[in-house]
Amino acid sequence: MQKTVTEKQETPPPIGVRYTSNGCQVGVWAPFADKIQIKIKDKPSLTALEKRRKGYWYGHLEDLLPGDCYKFIIDEKEAYPDPASLSQPEGVHSWSQVIDHSAFQWTDGDWRPADLKKMIIYELHVGTFSEAGTFDGVVEKLDYLVDLGINAIELMPVCSFPGERNWGYDAVYPYAVHEGYGGVTKLKQLVNECHRNGVAVLLDVVYNHLGPEGNYLSKYGPYFTSKYKTPWGDAVNFDDRYSDEVREYFIQNALMWLRDYHFDGLRLDAVHAIYDQRPDHFLKSLAMRIRDLEQQSGKKYTLIAESDLNDMKMIKPPTHGGYGLDGVWADDFHHSVHTLVTGEKNGYLKDYGEVDQMKKAFQQGLVYDGIYSNYRKKTVGSSPADVHPSQLLVCIQNHDQIGNRMLGERLVSLVSFEEVKLMAGILLLSRFTPLLFMGEEYGETHPFQYFVSHGDEALIKAVQRGRKGEFEDFGWEGEAPDPQAYATYGISKLSWNIQDFPQRKALLHYYKTLIFLRKAGVFESFRKKTINLRPGISQEEVLIFCGGESERLFVAFNFSSDGQEIHAPASPGGWSKILTSAAPLWLGAYEAPDFIKGQGDLFIPPCSLILYEKTL
């Protein structure tokens, strides 16, 4: 009987242009092309590539050197930039440039980042974080971040996008570093300096879509499929015909950021918009390849999924049917805090706003853990009971929750100063991994608005119309800022005038104190398996939690606009104060007693928290 031999899936050689000691290895995927040539800028000759299996074309060019620019010519017709270009110095429509990754001298050989359980993550947008709007501008603020207590920064996408300003989610060259931020070498210098200062660096990568302007991937092959539709058009082809090569394109991209730029991990944007029905989901395949890289490098890489599905499958190990990622977004925490304090219940926030939901979110991160959502009209989520709390990432502000408001207002412009401190305390006392958005720690009042600088007039008008339509479900009044206007970008830059405002100095001191206490392990009881809601509540707006089996800590959150009297939980030795958000030290008007006997009465000011430790 004749046996059928199943061909083993092989990993193709790298794509793009890679410099070696004797020229460049060139690879590109173009399965439908009859001929692929490479054109070097300012040189008359063309070099034809050799077609191999599965539509890959390869060649070796001794006269293609670092700094040279090139394009690929398809079937002797149009010339296009490299889909795996490492640099686009003249913009997204122009020539790709050869980069020699080996030229940079790293000094971080002994560097090892903090585990996710210990991370305090600070999300920033390179273009608006500093006045310069560059990687160097971030380096200049590293001392500030270290003093704040940050041990991990998350860069919003830095890939090449059209024009000079963009959030980064309209990028069209996943392998290329945006030149306006400083390019390849400056990005490496930033990562190297962060590691020298004890700060891990995570990169936000976008594998669910590419931007519309300068996107030439479809000229090369079926990178997209009409099988699914996304908010950005046809979906990236992760499971249709020819999807093996598309998956490999993005997997090689992820490996590049970790291997060649020494990033400590990736934040995977909107993975709920990655459509894949294959037995091994793209995210699982990606994680497995990165675990292979860990074995080779001896380093741990952190993979975090942004998802609104509340699906714990993302972070469960493959042996338990999961994808094997390290962490996942828990937006329920943000939504619960935000609605309770601001009173906003429009759009998807209609599903939130109850004190019981805040209780549930503080205890387990998720509200929708397999229960019905009135807004979505379906059951949402799965139970987080079997995952470590640190695998859930939570925030009270991030680029989406601010920038996708019509006017881009930050919390400090929506709620009182006491409420800001209350919300910061909920975040940093929680058992989950916290994420801060740049400027929140001192109460930045400049908004963070959506901005672009497209060159296509029709696209500009479409973005302007689309931006206005996005807010219909929220009922906000007023006029949406023009995303194309420079002023929209300019007003979104951080002001950094902390010392000019006593309130900003106080809030920064408050954040520093909370972060210091968290890193010192003072809140560790709240990170244990058991967090109990205690009696002694006189109003529904007050929550009292005790942490750990021994209930060594208790914290009371008062969401009411009125002061409240409560009973401290029973403790034979009494309770010693750790912190109260309404203290004069933070420009508040109330100083809680340093010590409470037994089960004594305690006053909580409006919109504040108090934190006590059991006296042994």
Nearest CA to 405 among 348, 436, 450? 450
Q: How far is CA 188 from the centre of its chain?
A: 19
Q: Which of 82, 123, 269, 331 is catalytic?
A: 269
Q: Which of 239, 240, 306, 419 is catalytic?
A: 306
Find out whether 411 and 371 touch, Cβ atoms under 8 Å. Answer: no
> What's the rounded Cα separation, in Å, for the pair 205 and 298?
23
Burial 359-394 (b: 16+ CB within 10 A, else e): bbbbbbbbbbbeeebeeeeeebbbebeebbbbbbbb
Q: Give every CB contact of residue 120 below 8 A, 6+ residues apart in sequence.
A: 149, 150, 151, 152, 434, 436, 515, 518, 519
> What's the rounded Cα separation, in Å, for the pair 408 and 1?
69
306 has catalytic annotation:
yes
Q: How far is CA 349 from the centre of its chain?
A: 21
Write the CA distances from 390 to 311, 552, 554, integer angstroms: 15, 20, 20
269 has catalytic annotation:
yes
Q: Give every CB contact of residue 109 below 8 A, 6+ residues apart in sequence.
A: none
Q: What is the DSSP string of 366-402?
A: -S-SSEEETTTTEEE----TTS-GGGEEE-S--HHHH
Find out whether 467 and 480 touch, Cβ atoms under 8 Å. Answer: yes
Say which residue the tokens 């090569």 belong to: 245
Active-site residues, by number, are 269, 306
